[in-house]
Amino acid sequence: MTNNILEINNLSKSFQGNRVLQDVSLTVREGDIYGLLGKNGAGKSTTMKTVLKLIKSDGGTIKLFEKYNIAETNTYLSDIGSLIEAPSFYPNLTAIENLKILQRLANVPWDNIEKVLKIVDLQDVPKKKLVKNYSLGMKQRLGIALALLKFPKLIILDEPTNGLDPKGVREIRELITSLPEKYGITVLISSHILSEIEKMANRVAIINNGQIKYEGGLKELEQTNRLIIKTESNDLAVRLLQEHQYLINKADEDYFELNNMDQTKIIQINQLLVKNNIGVYELHVVQNSLEDTFLKITEGV
């Protein structure tokens, strides 16, 4: 049985009367790379900051590791690493010196520094090189190294690929996808780069105007396909399918379309049309992408 690492229920938050989060509920399971998706201002960062107690919620509950209610304790924070917005460093110190400060504060073994530098592929950077002379990609990797230093059960990453070039984005993606399997670290990551989340996450939530509009696995999204059909008599075909309780999403003289089609339904529809002597000369499936679902939810497209 998979343990729940993070459970958020009915979380709400307002700033100066402006509702930012409204009854947000989501569950991150052990081993997940869980993508939190939304437009700027949708509530992603606020949700993450509330989990980390950087912001106090107005209502709702947050439970960590199936035993900690964050309203009652701070103990859980020792098992969480985070990179929220831009990483913070002492620019005139080296990577090791920055990590050493946190290592002492967190009271973790010294050799954790060497381990995390290797994980983020900074082990070969000259040891005397100051962080202010790092590239943006190197700074992002060092930020993740700081978040990993305690080897936490959960790491929370807020837009970790922001501003990176394609090579840097790929490097961060490969690093993140290695964390659950290699190190047993569950990942909660926010992003507006849908294609990257699609390559990393196994489960996602889409938040819009402070509300969760979708939560589930990417495989479930892939199963919600559109079926486009062209027949010798579309009007007759549409009436027949409607009589059999199929919902036609769109229809015109050239084609008609049905949503949420799985393989079984597609076979049944084709057989029904052929059985009733309606010639089908085109039938194809359009697989919904994460972008399709995101735009439908957030823009009504």
Q: Determine contact, residues 55/49, Cβ cutoff 8 Å.
A: yes
144-197 pLDDT tens trace: 999 999 999 999 999 888 878 888 888 889 989 999 999 999 999 998 778 888
Same domain, 247 and 194: no
3 burial level (CB within 10 Å; 0-12, 13-18, 19+): exposed
Same domain, 202 and 239: no
Confidence of residue 288 (pLDDT cuts 50, 70, 90): low
* Chosen domain end from 192, 217, 242: 217
Q: Determine contact, residues 158/190, Cβ cutoff 8 Å.
A: yes
* Chosen domain end from 217, 236, 251: 217
Domain count, the chain: 2
3-state secondary structure of 186: strand
Same domain, 36 and 121: yes
> Domain residues for 91?
4-217
Same domain, 180 and 125: yes
Same domain, 238 and 273: yes
d(CA 156, CA 45): 10
Same domain, 59 and 192: yes
For tokens 């290695």, name the residue.
178
* Chosen domain end from 161, 188, 217: 217
Same domain, 115 and 244: no
Same domain, 229 and 156: no
224-251 pLDDT tens trace: 677 888 888 888 888 888 888 888 877 7
CATH code assigned at 243: 3.30.70.270
Give yes or no for residue 273 having a pLDDT over 70: yes
Note the pTM of the prediction, 2 decimals.
0.79
CATH code assigned at 98: 3.40.50.300
Looking at residues 92-105, what average pLDDT do you find?
92
Give yes or no for residue 300 having a pLDDT over 70: no
Looking at residues 283-295, what average pLDDT do you find?
74
Q: Computed over its alpha carbons, how large is the radius of gyration of the chain?
A: 24
Same domain, 206 and 233: no
Say what the pLDDT of residue 49 is: 94
Say what the pLDDT of residue 93 is: 93
Same domain, 206 and 276: no
Same domain, 212 and 241: no
Same domain, 207 and 228: no
Say what the pLDDT of residue 183 is: 92
Its sign, for the CA torsion 58, 60, 63, 67, is positive
